[in-house]
Amino acid sequence: MKRSKPTKANKPPIKALTIRQPWAELILRGRKPFELRTWRTKYRGPLVIHAAAKVDAWDARHFGLNPEKLITSAFVGFVILSDVRPYTREDARLLKKRRAGYGWFPHNLSWVLKKPRRMSPVKAKGQLSLFDVPKGVERRIRRLL
């Protein structure tokens, strides 16, 4: 049976995830290759990073970032979500070594993030859980993939 090539019309929507600063910035800098969550998702593929309105200022300073200069309330970049698996002690050691995490938290999941790319910020309100990005942002991301 011949498979048809995906068209724009049948491509699944690109998802986004709101993440507080400085964690969003650490992901885009490649220092944080895992996002820790307590819940699973079956979604894999491009994941747009939305920087939340709030900044964890103490954490930003602790990891060498200026909290005043971190972008908030905007789509700031994207990654490829390649896997969701249990968070391991090895993951924790890597994050600590890269100055992008604190330690091991049992029962968390590692959302494995690959190929972080920054984009010009697009102001927007965040949401809980995974959410569809606006069509204009999705078109921009698809051009960069």
Q: What is the DSSP string of 127-145?
A: -SSSEEPPHHHHHHHHHH-
The reported pTM is: 0.89
With a cut of 70, say whether residue 47 has pLDDT above it.
yes
In tens, the pLDDT along 71-100 reads: 999 999 999 999 999 999 999 999 999 999
Query: Is 114:83 a contact under the CB 8 Å cutoff?
Result: no
Here the tokens at position 72 are 């908030």
In tens, the pLDDT along 1-11 reads: 555 455 555 67
With a cut of 70, say whether residue 25 has pLDDT above it.
yes
In tens, the pLDDT along 56-73 reads: 999 999 999 999 999 999
Q: What is the largest CA-CA distance in the chain?
A: 57
Here the tokens at position 17 are 């995830």
DSSP state of 78: E
Domain 14-137 CATH assignment equals 3.40.50.1370: no
Task: Provide the pLDDT for residue 12.
Answer: 82
The pLDDT confidence band at residue 105, using thresholds 50, 70 and 90, is confident
With a cut of 70, say whether residue 106 has pLDDT above it.
yes
Task: Provide the pLDDT for residue 102.
Answer: 87
Work out the number of other CB atoms within 10 angstroms of the CB of residue 118: 13
For residues 133-138, average pLDDT? 92
